Amino acid sequence: MNKKAIHIVESVARGSIAEEMEIEKGDALVEINGKRIEDIFDYQYYTQDEYIEVLIRKPTGEEWLLEIDKDYDEDLGITFQNSLMDEYRSCRNKCIFCFIDQMPKGMRDTLYFKDDDSRLSFLQGNYVTLTNMSDSDIDRIIKYNLSPINVSFQTTNPELRCKMLNNRFAGDALEKAWRLAEAGVRMNGQIVLCKGVNDGAELERSIKDLSKYLPNLESVSVVPVGLTRYREGLYPLEQFTKDDAREVLSVIHKWQGKLYSKYGTHFVHASDEWYILAEEELPEEEQYDGYLQLENGVGMLRLLINEFNEALDGLDTDNPPPKPDELSIATGMLAYSFIKELTQKLTARFPQIKINIYPIKNIFFGEQITVSGLLTGQDILAQLKDKPLGGRLLLPQNVLRSGEEVFLDDMTVNELERALQVRVDIVKSSGRDLIEAILTA
């Protein structure tokens, strides 16, 4: 028996079909409709029908063939020990810009795992290079009508893509994107821009080529390469300057104008860092085409500003004002000036609230890393330990590991609270959540 084809049940939802069929924790799923289940996508595909036959193996070795009548697409209520129902696929590339290669030694093992698994693109929004995908993988995506998939293109120049990814098959992988687009699979793209490598004329070429994937390629983000201080022995890359950023924005804005007039979409978008580095105003909301690439930092600040202003305008002036309070907010250097300006609007309305805004320099990875999502507990602690904090410290949610109260360097929120002797509140990403966190003592 192929062990990879057997999936162990972790839990069964109360009142679910699985509970009714007496499926229990520790049982193994062997087959559905006589088919071996490779991963979560096979499982979701074969369980959507109104009648299915499920082969379950009990821990005793006894096998049950369960005949199940249900509504179309009704879930069985099973959670498996491995949510992907398969091993994660690691990256085979050696990209010249890889962030994981720029991390110091001694961090937890999971931070060094390079995934390039297309299934995580659908489940978690991860970006994949397509170099790890076989023709059968592409066939399954088309068969199951999975969308959207997020693709790291970097460049549409096949030779240059091979060089950037250090993979001689990386250029050929671009053909897989064409297959997906022609089959109607929706995609979002990403270009990690490296100075002197895939910018300038190469960026122009990439945008032009990728625009041919419209409408199934819905958007492309252009983000600057992140460079830490741990680059010894790696490909020599340089930071972008203000003039570089203005040139990048000029290219992007030119193509936005062309594509919007033809297709009604701006298509290619610059991440927020470019506007801050170039010292240019952020675009208005309508230029982001519905914020398709927030996770890449495209429009995140604009959305925060608009949500904050809307929530501020909607505050009920008839309610009693909040009690006097002093608190602090710590954030990355990228968002600092925006957070400061927003909170000044709030304290102008409620002067009894004092808010200390602290920008945290990223000493751990290097000061060129300015996003709050890569801040460590030790940097926050070191830079706030002698500062007036008031009764609370607000931190953005993205400083923590997803679903946990642990920073990148394994410091916990409780450890930070004890060290600073202040209550730490984690704030969700929206402008409304920020206002509510400030006004809720």
Domains with residue ranges and CATH for the chain:
3-80 (2.30.42.10), 100-296 (3.80.30.10), 306-439 (3.40.50)
Name the most confidently modeled range: 47-61, 167-181, 266-280, 319-333: 266-280
DSSP string of 196-233, one letter each residue: TTTSTHHHHHHHHHHGGGTTTEEEEEEEEPP--S--TT
Mean of the per-residue pLDDT values of the chain: 91
> What does the pLDDT look like over 147-181, one tens digit per residue?
888 899 999 999 999 999 999 999 998 999 999 99
- The two structure tokens encoding residue 50: 């109104």
Q: What is the pTM of this model?
A: 0.84
> What does the pLDDT look like over 90-99, one tens digit per residue?
678 899 999 9
Exposed e or buried b per residue across 343-352, where buried means at least 16 C-beta atoms within 10 angstroms of its C-beta: beebeeebee
> What does the pLDDT look like over 336-368, one tens digit per residue?
999 999 999 999 999 999 999 999 999 999 999
pLDDT above 70 for 124:
no
Yes or no: say if 218 and 292 are a contact pair by the CB < 8 Å rule: yes
> What does the pLDDT look like over 299-331, one tens digit per residue?
999 999 999 999 999 887 666 778 889 999 999
Query: Please, which residues have CB within 8 angstroms of residue 264's CB and are 6 or more apart in sequence?
Result: none
The C-alpha angle 215, 220, 225, rounded to 5 degrees, equals: 165
Yes or no: say if 435 and 342 are a contact pair by the CB < 8 Å rule: no
pLDDT band at 67 (very low <50, low <70, confident <90, very high): very high
The C-alpha angle 50, 140, 147, rounded to 5 degrees, equals: 80
Alpha helices in 166-299 (DSSP H): 174-182, 201-210, 242-263, 272-278
Exposed e or buried b per residue across 250-282, where buried means at least 16 C-beta atoms within 10 angstroms of its C-beta: ebbbebbeebeeeeebbbbbbbbbbbbbbeeeb
